Amino acid sequence: MENITDVELKAFDGWAKKMPGIKIETHIDLIRQSLKEKAYHEAGHAVTNAFFEGDVSHFKEVSIIPNQDRMGQFARERVLAFDSILKNYPSGLIWVKGKMRIIHFLGGRVAESIVSDSVEPLEEAVDESAWAFTDCSSEKEWRDGTDEGIALTTAEMIARRGWPPLRILFMMERWAHEFFEIPPVWGVVKSLAQKLISFGEITDINEYGNIIEPILFQWPAYPKWRSRFDPKVKTIKI
């Protein structure tokens, strides 16, 4: 059997906890494909955060090593809850921050879809009964703990006349695709993904910062994104 990397072994261990009896010899191709998909997925989350938020100080880790709770994650510490933004920020900024938040949570699935054809359409993933076909035990758990659930809930929070939640959600998905078409952005996604495929995780804040530095808080430098998100711009395009 061809050489198996430490990352692939760790991934197999995570799979085996959920599916006892599987053998690495017969599942190695699936494991490698899964690692690639998850690497781009988590890199998508990390890069959207870097481009729009520009705050590295709260970085904790980005990982594709699965365990009983997750297949991978992009984690930060001391993140301001969106409920706090709703209570304390003006409506124009809530509108902007809400859209950024939706793009961040959809960014993983969109980046993954660029390198894989296994990502289900968003309209199916947010169908009113979609949570029942996941590992979640309730709709609340789905809304609180999945990318699509959080994105939909956020869209409901910022919905306004003429812009119902699903319209916002599908528009932000299209924007996420446009976002990853920016060459420097996709270059950083690829760099992060390749690093994750090779090492499984990044936990060093300096290493992470060096990778994302080219696109860190760069949305104001792009006229299209500045017109969409700068609250000082009188006409904020949707």
Q: Give the pair of three-digit tokens for residue 160.
A: 């306004």
Residue 203: name the closest of 65, 51, 6 by CA. Answer: 65
How many Cβ atoms from other residues are within 10 Å of residue 226's Cβ?
14
**CA-to-CA separations, 186 to 84, 143, 182, in angstroms, rounded:** 31, 28, 6
Give the model confidence (pLDDT) of 143-164 as tens digits: 999 999 999 999 999 999 999 9
How high is the mean pLDDT of the chain?
90
Give the model confidence (pLDDT) of 40-74 as tens digits: 999 999 999 999 998 888 899 999 998 766 667 88
pLDDT at 79 over 70: no
Give the model confidence (pLDDT) of 87-130 as tens digits: 778 888 889 999 999 999 999 999 999 999 999 999 999 999 99
User: Judging by beta carbons within 10 Å of its beta carbon (0-12, 13-18, 19+), is residue 204 exposed, middle or buried?
Assistant: exposed
Q: How far is CA 17 from the centre of its chain?
A: 25
DSSP state of 216: T
- Provide the pLDDT for residue 220: 95
The DSSP-derived string for 202-213 is E--HHHHHHHHG
Query: Where does the pLDDT of residue 215 fall: very low under 50, low under 70, confident under 90, or very high at 90 and above?
Result: very high
pLDDT at 168 over 80: yes
* Whether 217 contacts 50, CB under 8 Å: yes
Give the model confidence (pLDDT) of 6-16 as tens digits: 999 988 888 88
- pTM value is 0.92
For β-strands 73-76 and 201-202, DSSP reports them as unpaired
Architecture of domain 6-229: Up-down Bundle (1.20)
